[in-house]
Structure 1
Amino acid sequence: MENIGRKDIWHFFVNNRRFAIISVILICVMGMFSIYNLPKESDPKVDVPIAVVSTIYAGASPEDVEELITNVIENKINSMSGVEEVTSSSRKGMSMIVVQFGVDEDGREKVVDLKNEIDKIKKDLPSNAEEPRVEQVDFNNSPIMIYSLSGPYDLPSLKSMAEDIKKDLEGIAGVSKVEVIGGQDREVRVIIDKRELDKFGIPLSQVTSSIGQANTDIPIGSIETGGEKYTLRFEGRIKGAEEIGGIPVGVSGGIPVFVRDVGTVVDGFEEASSFSFFSRGDKEALPAISLNIYRASGGEILEIGESVEEKLVEARKLLPNNVSIDTVENQGTQISDDLGGLLKTGVETVIIVSLAVLIFVGWREALLSAISIPLSFFITFIVLDGIGYTLNFLTLFSLILALGIMVDAAIVVSDAMNREINNGKTPKQAALRTIDEFRNPLVFGTLTTVFAFLPMILTSGIMGKFIRTIPVTVTIILISSILVAVAILPALAVKWINIGKKEGEPEKKKASYFDKWVNLYEELIRKLFRDNRLANIFLVSIIGLFIFSLSLPITGIMKSTLFPDSDVSKLYISIQELPGTPLERTTEVSRQVEKLLMGNKDVESIQLNVGMGMSSTVSASSNASENKANIIISLKDKKSKPSYELAKDLRVVLSKENFGSATVEVVETGYGPPSGSPVEINITGPSLTQLASISDDYERVLREIKGVRNVDTSIEETNGEFVIEIDRAKAQVYGLTASQVAYALRNAVNGIEATVIRENGNDTDVVVKQNISGDMDKTNKVTMNTLNSITIATSKGEIPLSTFTNSYLHNSVNVISHTDGERIVKVTGAVDSGYTVQGVLDEFKEKVKDKALAPEYEVSFGGEQEDTEKSFADMYKAFLLGIIAIFALLVFEFNSYRQPIFLLLTIPLAIIGILPGLTIAGQSLSFPAIIGIIALGGVVVNHAIILIDRIHANRLSGLTKEEAIVEAGKSRLKPIFLTTIITIVGSFPLAFSSPVWAPIALAMIFGLSFSFVLTLGVVPILYKKFGEDVID
Structure 2
Amino acid sequence: MLLTDAAIRNRTTVAVLGLIIVLLGATSYVSLPREAAPDIPIPYIMVTTMYEGVSPEDIETSVTMKIEKELNGIRGVEEISSSSAEGMSLISVEFDPDVPSEVALQRVRDRVDMAKGELPQDAEEPIIKEINFAELPIMLISLSGDVSPVLLKEIADDVQDVLEATPGVLKVEMAGDLEREIRLEFDPDRLAKYNLTIPEILSLIPSENVNISAGGLETPGTKFNVRIPAEFVTPEEVDHLMLTARDGTPVYLADVATVRYTFKDRTSFSRLNGADTITLSVSKRVGANAVQISDRIKAVIAEAQKRVPSALKFDITYDMSEMVRDTVADLENNIISALILVTLVLLLFLGWRPSTIVAMIIPLSMLITFFLVQALGYTLNMIVLFSLILVLGMLVDNAIVIVENIYRHLQLGYGLTEASILGAREVAWPVTTSTLTTVCAFFPMMFWPGVMGDFMKYLPITLSLGLMASLFVGLVFNPVICSIWAGRAPKPHQKDHWSLRAYRRVQEAGLYNPGLTLFLSFCLLVGLGILYAKIGKGTEFFPEGDPERAVIDIRAPQGTNIHETDRIARLIEERLEPYKPWLKHVITNVGSAGGTNMGLMASAGGSHLAGVTLVFHDFVERTRPSNDVLVEIRQAIADIPGAEIKVEKEEEGPPSGAPVTVRVMGEDFKTLERLSEQARRLIAAVPNVVNLRSDFEGARPELAFTADRRVAMLLGVNTATVGNFLKMAVFGSKVGTYREYNEEYDITVRLPVEDRTKVDDLYRLQVPNTAGNAVPLSSLGTFTYRGGFGTINRVDQKRVVTLTADAEGRLGSEVLADVQRRLHPLGDPRLTERDVLDWDALRQTLKRGQTEASHPAGRIWAVLTTRGASFWSRAAISKEDLASLLSADTFEEEQKERLVTLLNTALGKPDLYHPDAFSDPDLPQEAAAMVTKGPENLTQAEVLFLNRELLVSVWPDVIARPIRVALPLGYEIRYAGEKEEQDKAQAFLSKAFAIALLLVVMVLVIQFNSLMVPFIIMTTVVLSLIGALSGLLVCGLPFGIIMTGIGIISLAGVVVNNAIVLLAYTQQLQREGMGLIEAASTAGVTRLRPVLLTAGTTIIGLIPMAVGVSYDFHTFTWATKSESTQWWRNMAVVVIFGLGFATLLTLVVVPSLYVMLSRLSLWLGFGRSHVDQTSSTPKSEVAGAWPS
Among 1083, 1093, 1100, the residue aligned to 1:978: 1093
Asked if 1:640 corresponds to 2:623, the answer is yes
CA contact (8 A) 1:597 1:603 kept: no
Partner residue of 1:319?
308
What is the alpha-carbon distance in structure 1 between the residues aligned to residue 510 and residue 397 of structure 2?
A: 29
Contact 1:931 1:1000 in 2 (8 A): yes
CA distance in 2, matches of 1:50, 1:719: 29
8 Å Cα contact 2:271/2:587 also seen in 1 = yes
Cα distance, 1:251–1:956 mapped onto 2, change above 3 Å: farther
Counterpart amino acid of 2:766?
T
Structure 1 position 987, deviation (Å): 1.1
In structure 1, the partner of 2:231 is 237
Which of 718, 725, 729 is residue 744 of structure 1 equivalent to?
725
Deviation at 1:980, TM superposition (A): 1.4
CA contact (8 A) 1:144 1:329 kept: yes
Does 1:517 find its partner at 2:502?
no
Letter in 2 for 1:134: I
Residues 21-60 of structure 1: matches in 2 within 5 Å? 21-60=15-54
Matched, 1:542 2:537: no
Change (3 A) 1:467 1:842: same
2:629 match: secondary structure: helix
- The residue type paired with residue 576 of structure 2 is L
Q: Which of the numbers 697, 700, 704 marks the counterpart of 1:723?
A: 704
Rounded Cα–Cα distance in structure 2 between residues aligned with 1:670 and 1:627: 24
Distance 1:903 1:218 in 2: 88
Counterpart residue type for residue 458 of structure 2: T
Q: Provide the rounded CA distance (Å) in 2 between the counterparts of 1:436 and 1:213.
A: 93
TM-score (norm 1): 0.93
Query: 2:446 — aligned with what?
Result: 457
**Alignment equivalent of 1:70, drawn from 64, 73, 94:** 64
Judging changes above 3 Å, is the alpha-carbon distance between structure 1 residues 941 and 804 closer, same or farther for their aligned structure 2 residues? Answer: same
**Offset at 1:745?**
0.8
Contact 1:345 1:990 in 2 (8 A): yes
Moved more, 264-273 or 961-970: 961-970
What's the TM-score once normalised by structure 2's chain length? 0.81
Structure 2 match to 1:713: 694
* Alpha-carbon distance between aligned partners in 2 of 1:974 and 1:855, rounded to the nearest angstrom: 68
Q: Does 1:303 align with 2:258?
A: no
Instruction: Map Cα deviations across residues 503-534 of structure 1 (whole Å, 9 max, x no partner).
Output: xxx55434268x4333443343334333xxx3
In 1: Cα distance, 2:490 partner to 2:695 partner: 78
CA contact (8 A) 1:553 1:925 kept: no
Shift of 1:897: 2.2
1:404-553 equivalent positions in 2, closer than 5 A: 404-498=393-487, 501=488, 506-511=489-494, 515-530=497-512, 534-551=513-530
* Alignment correspondent of 2:991: 877
**Matching residue of 1:294:** 283
Deviation of 1:433 after TM superposition, in Å, equals 3.0
> Residue 494 of structure 2 aligns to which amino acid in structure 1?
A
Specify the code of the residue in structure 1 equivalent to 2:1148. Answer: G
Deviation track 1:13-67 (CA, whole Å, cap 9, x = no partner) reads 2222232222222111111111122111110000111110000111110000000
Residue of structure 2 aligned with 1:133, choices 109, 119, 127? 127
Equivalent residue for 1:282?
Answer: none
By how many angstroms is 1:960 displaced? 3.5
Give the 5 Å matches for 1:620-699.
623-637=604-618, 638-655=621-638, 658-699=639-680
- State how far apart, in whole Å, the 2-side matches of 1:783 and 1:491 are: 93
Deviation at 1:222, TM superposition (A): 4.3
Q: Counterparts in 2 of 1:377-416, with a 5 A limit?
A: 377-416=366-405
Question: Which residue matches 1:900?
Answer: 1014
Alpha-carbon distance in structure 2 between the residues aligned to 1:116 and 1:975: 63
Structure 2: distance between partners of 1:154 and 1:856: 59
Residue 946 of structure 1: how far off its partner (Å): 1.4
Q: 2:821 aligns with which of 845, 848, 853?
A: 845
2-structure distance, mates of 1:496, 1:519: 34
Measure the CA separation in 1 of the matches of 2:150 and 2:446. 52
Cα–Cα, structure 1 residues 119 and 232, in superposed 2: closer, same or farther, change >3 Å?
farther
> Which residue in the other structure is 1:18 paired with?
12
Q: SS where residue 754 of structure 2 aligns?
A: coil
The partner residue of 2:262 within 256, 268, 272 is 268
Are 1:100 and 2:79 counterparts? no
What residue is the counterpart of 2:583 in the other structure? 603
> What secondary structure, in the 3-state scheme, does the structure 2 residue paired with 1:347 have?
helix
Measure the CA separation in 2 of the matches of 1:959 and 1:512: 19
Provide the rounded CA distance (Å) in 2 between the counterparts of 1:143 and 1:620.
8
Unmatched segments (≥5 aa) in structure 2: 828-963, 1109-1121, 1162-1167, 1174-1188
Task: Choose 962-971 or 463-472, whichever is displaced more.
Answer: 962-971
The Cα shift of 1:423 comes to 4.2
1:666 Cα deviation from its structure 2 partner: 2.0
Of 769, 781, 786, the match for 1:810 = 786
Matches of 1:168 and 1:752, distance apart in 2: 33
Distance 1:142 1:999, change over 3 A: same
Tell me, yes or no, if the aligned pair for 2:551 and 2:614 is still in contact at 8 Å: yes
Structure 1 match to 2:800: 824
Report the CA distance between 1:889 and its aligned residue.
1.4
SS in 1 for 2:782: strand
Residues 1:939 and 2:914 are matched in the alignment: no
Instruction: Tell me how far apart the structure 2 counterparts of residues 337 and 30 of structure 1 sit (CA, whole Å).
Output: 25
Is the 1:408–1:979 Cα contact (8 Å) retained in structure 2? yes
What secondary structure, in the 3-state scheme, does the structure 1 residue paired with 2:1127 have? coil
Q: 1:88–1:620: 8 Å Cα contact kept in structure 2? A: no
The residue type equivalent to 1:107 in the other structure is S
Which shifted more, 474-483 or 87-96?
474-483
* CA–CA separation in structure 2 for the residues paired with 1:554 and 1:746: 65
Which residue does 1:1016 correspond to in 2? 1147
**Partners of 1:120 and 1:238 in 2: how far apart?**
47
Residue 814 of structure 1 aligns to a residue in which SS? strand
Please give the residue correspondences for 1:213-228 in structure 2 after superposition, counting only pairs within 5 Å. Answer: 213-226=207-220
Check conservation: 1:96, 1:620, Cα contact below 8 A: no
Worse-matched range after superposition: 368-377 or 268-277: 368-377
Is 1:332 the counterpart of 2:321? The answer is yes
Q: Which amino acid aligns with 1:609?
A: N
**Inter-partner Cα distance in structure 2 for 1:616 and 1:508:** 63
| 350-359 vs 434-443, greater mean Cα deviation | 434-443
User: Structure 1, unaligned stretches of length 5 or more?
Assistant: 1-5, 280-284, 775-780
**Comparing 963-972 with 95-104, which one deviates more in the overlay?**
963-972
**1:855 paired to 2:969:** yes
1:103 deviates by: 0.6
Residue 947 of structure 2: aligned partner: none
C-alpha separation in 2, matches of 1:620 and 1:118 = 28
Q: Any conservation in 2 of the 1:153–1:287 contact (CA below 8 Å)?
A: no
Contact conserved, 1:701 with 1:844, CA < 8 A, in 2? no
Pick one of 1076, 1080, 1105 that aligns with 1:965.
1080
Aligned residues: 1003
Q: Is the 8 A contact 1:212 1:755 kept in 2?
A: yes
Paired with 1:154 and 1:698, the residues of 2 have a C-alpha distance of 50
Which of 50, 62, 73 aligns to 1:79? It is 73
Distance in 2 (alpha carbons) for counterparts of 1:161 and 1:484: 58
Q: Which residue in the other structure is 1:864 paired with?
A: 978
1:793 offset after TM fit, Å?
Answer: 4.0
| Distance in 1 between residues matched to 2:143 and 2:182, nearest whole Å | 26
2:86 and 2:308 mapped to 1: Cα distance?
Answer: 44
Aligned to 1:788: 763
Residue 366 (structure 1) aligned with residue 394 (structure 2): no
